[in-house]
Amino acid sequence: MKNYILLFVLLITAIVVKAQAGFNYYEFGVGAGTSYERGYTNISHQNDNLGFNANLIYNFNPYVPVELELQKGRLSGGGITVDKDKYGRQYTNNYLAVYLHADAHLGSFIDYGNGWFLNTVKNFYFGSGIGIIKNNNTVQRTNVIAADGPLFYVFPGKDKSINYSISLRAGYEFKIFDSYDEPTYAIDLGYVHNVIIGEGLDGYNDPNSKFKNNALDQYRQITIGFKYFFGNTVAYNKRIRRRQW
- Say what the pLDDT of residue 142 is: 85
**Pick from 8, 84, 6, 99: which is nearest to 46 by CA?**
84
- Say what the pLDDT of residue 4 is: 43
Let me know if residue 26 belongs to a domain. yes
Strand positions, DSSP E, 118-159 = 124-140
Q: How many domains does the chain have?
A: 1
Question: Maximum CA pair distance of the chain?
Answer: 96
For position 7, which CATH number holds? Answer: 2.40.160.20
When pLDDT is cut at 50, 70 and 90, the band that residue 68 belongs to is very high
- The boundaries of the domain holding residue 146 are 2-235
Which residues, listed in sequence order, are joined to residue 219 by a DSSP beta bridge?
A: 39, 194
Q: What is the pLDDT of residues 12-25, one digit of tens each?
A: 444 444 445 578 99
Q: What percent of the chain has pLDDT over 90?
A: 67
- Say what the pLDDT of residue 149 is: 58
Do the Cβ atoms of 135 and 163 come closer than 8 Å?
yes
Let me know if residue 240 belongs to a domain. no
Let me know if residue 242 belongs to a domain. no
- Say what the pLDDT of residue 21 is: 59
Do the Cβ atoms of 43 and 87 come closer than 8 Å?
no
Q: What is the pLDDT of residues 24-58, one digit of tens each?
A: 999 999 999 999 999 999 898 999 999 999 999 99
Q: Please state, rounded to an integer, the average pLDDT across all residues of the chain.
A: 88
Let me know if residue 104 belongs to a domain. yes
When pLDDT is cut at 50, 70 and 90, the band that residue 213 belongs to is low
Let me know if residue 244 belongs to a domain. no
- Say what the pLDDT of residue 147 is: 56
Q: What's this model's pTM, rounded to 2 decimal places?
A: 0.86
Let me know if residue 245 belongs to a domain. no
Let me know if residue 83 belongs to a domain. yes
